Structure 1
Amino acid sequence: MKKVTKTITSVVGGGLIFGAIGVSASESVTVDPGDTYWGLAQNHDDVSTEEIVEANDYDPKMLPVGAEIVIPTDETSNGEAGQDMVTHTVQPGNTFAEIAAVYDGVTVDDLERLNPDVDPYSLTIGSELVVVDYASEDDTSEDYVYHTVQPGNTFYEIASVYDGVTVDDLLEANPNVDPYLLIIGSEIAVPTE
């Protein structure tokens, strides 16, 4: 059975220049073995194969099994503007290196940075990994330094090492990290401002 996620995202791009922000509705579908862009278009009303190809960064001849494919549901959605992130559903035998090789420009370091709470040596089948985060690409990385978690570290201890940083700052900067289950070797974003 296909997993379909409906999302609503803002299309900011050129709209800000003209004083308007468009809203784009889209769905995402997890790729199963044998899926094609054409087949996905046939299963969704009012969307062409070309629109699906434009809304995604995958080779149309080889869709990666487990990848999330964006299905635009109106004309304002295409390319990166129609999605905030690309995720990959972990399949049996997947490794960070194998997943990174499937996506253009993605490295193992990118996967580790985008998924700090995931143990790369113990991937859970069916879990979602962030592969590309377009929202974070807009942020300047100079707003954060990264602290590598050591044995015994807590958010309180990490905050006390950095001037002016509170536990609440760390919680806000790391919304996907469970402060009670810090993984040794993972990186915690520490705000610099």
Structure 2
Amino acid sequence: MNSYNRPQGTMPYVIKAGDTLYKLAMEFNTTVDKIIQYNPYMNPDYLIVGEKMYIPTESVHTPCPGGNYHIIKSGDTLYKLAQQYNVSIESIIEANSGINPNMLIIGKVICIPIGPKEECPPGSTPYTIQKGDTLYQISKKHRIPLNDLLKANPTVDPYNLQVGQKICIPNYWATFQSELFKVEFLYPSDWSMVRENYYEGPSGYFSVSAIDSDSSLIDVCKEEAYQPILQYGSKPNISSIKVDGQEGYITIPSEDQRIEMDNQAGLIIKYPKPIKINDTEFNYLIIWVEKQYATIVQQSLKFIQ
């Protein structure tokens, strides 16, 4: 172990497995040459684990108060760094006096100023980009239209997402919950209650009720679908579905559905066990909903009894 006195302007350091002079220079904000200068008896190509050395304490990099140091790598450009750290190219240039924006030097340490703290506006939630994410995948995951996601993030380049980047997810869905009908499901957040268990908005509506019948599920569905007023048209499409583990049917109207029915589709699902309302037991849940939202109601529906 080195026995000479500690040079002024240094601190002692014990070499650990995996250490290199380059890594130490980056960690302690100095240079390889400075470390060698203060450790004249050390072999820079063969560091001995457990041996003591001295690290210069005077910073040699560009002062970066409140910012981050970045080591230039192959392929780095100021545009890419600005996108990665969510700051402007101009602010990086201002923080690094003498930097040539057209000729970044690999291995050089530069200062990245901390960008302004971004807050998602009311009605949206922050999301951190993960490896492999695309805006299309994110829109599908959160069940929101891609165009709405793009509108909520006007400064985001959809073709150059960075891992760790923050975007805002619009709160597109709200949750309807009914203790009376023992059910919950998603609906567009810009819809509002018109009357109890009936909601309406710019793009559609839904209404919730229950059926008391001794008939089988399919017979109840056919009776609903083929009423004399043909509320689902003359040739509705009735499909079997599973909803929260329960059997059900979804009825999608045919093209000749009466215009006053306003694109109404219907879902009828058998309750896990009958519910009681005013001393009457109901064994089937029925939801009328604008047809383009029938699938989201089906997929998100849960019984809460």
Alignment TM-score, normalising by the size of structure 2: 0.20
- Which fold has the larger relative contact order, with Cα–Cα distance below 8 Å and residues 6 or more apart in sequence? 1
Larger radius of gyration: 2
Alignment TM-score, normalising by the size of structure 1: 0.30
Comparing both structures, which one devotes a greater share of its residues to helix?
1
